[in-house]
Amino acid sequence: MKLFKNGSLFFLISLIFVNCIEKKKDNPEDYVKILNNETEQKVDVLINDQIFTSYLYRDNIPVLKKTVLYPIVASNGVTITRGFPLETRPGERTDHPHHIGAWFNYGDANGIDYWNNSDAINEEHKHKMGIIRHDQIIEIIDGNSKGELLVSANWLKPDGEILLKEKSKFIFYSQTNQRMIDRIATLTAEKEHVLFNDNKEGAFAIRVARQLEHPSDHPVKLSDMHGKETDVPVLNNEGVSGNYLSSEGIEGMDVWGKRAKWIALDGVINNKEVTVVIFDNPKNVGYPTYWHARGYGLFAANPFGQNVFSEGKESLNYSLKAGDSVTFKYRILIIDGEKNKKKIESEYQKFIKEN
């Protein structure tokens, strides 16, 4: 009888041990490591030594007129961002070279365009274009399941003077079957009053991979096997599977120019389903934000462009006095699998409670 009890105890302990191992496999505590590479002017964000994203602050790439997060990789290993124009992949669109990775800027601050600037701008328009340049890395924090990067940058006028100073905190999360990026950006007017004239070109944005676009109804320009632009004379939607869904229940390309607390975009990349969501925050100007979300892969929240999106029924023309600041808080949620409105809404409630 004693041997039986001991054997039962051994069996129970073994069972608990196995369950713990399985639980650890299902819920790994991923380590987020953040490394500054001054030579290449980037900060790599690694999860268990694999790239999640990089903060690029390079000033020696003509097309890069702002700081960006690029690439962005889901926990299932698929890259959700477009490669063009930095690392063009076969079969992707070659439009809008200023759409790189994920970024935060705007198309009209005191008449200066920080959105459209790239090496594709004609000489006669360059005097209207602003540049956002990295200033310094303030803090880096590594950790289990979460890492933080605090940076500063300057919004430069065409003459090189600072219009706005920016301080942005990025928080990178890794959880079971999902990853998240928070961007908490504070803009401070430097020496003059700054007016954000209502404009559709803004503001918190990501340019997604070709597979996450909506199917086109007309021919498009795509890159060939060598990464060069080529005309596609016939409609080609091979592998294109994206579909938007807003918190208000609107789907597809109808989400453009509508207000919503969040929008989700899902599709299939390399036979793996993935969902990308952007959350607005109740503390942000213009909440719930309008969305500049296009079927060709531009996915952006724009709190400023109210006159355009409402067809003149509303206007904002947000302004900052010299020395004043405004803060914006957004989250990108990347989930392995197709979109689930109930799960997304649950994650959204967590986000607004945390922030």
In percent, the amount of the chain with pLDDT more than 70 equals 88
The one-letter code for the residue type at 161 is E
Report if pTM > 0.75: yes
Does the domain made of 32-354 have the CATH classification 2.70.98? yes
Write out the H or E segment, with its range, that includes residue 11.
Answer: helix 2-26
**Span 170-185, pLDDT tens digits:** 999 999 999 999 999 9
**Span 287-327, pLDDT tens digits:** 999 999 999 999 999 999 999 999 999 999 999 999 999 99
Rounded to whole angstroms, how far apart are CA atoms 155 and 120?
A: 20
Rounded to whole angstroms, how far apart are CA atoms 217 and 53?
A: 32
**Span 17-37, pLDDT tens digits:** 444 444 444 445 799 999 999
Mean pLDDT of the 71-82 span? 98
Name residues whose C-beta falls within 8 Å of residue 267's C-beta, 6 or more positions apart in sequence.
Answer: 211, 212, 213, 240, 241, 242, 243, 273, 274
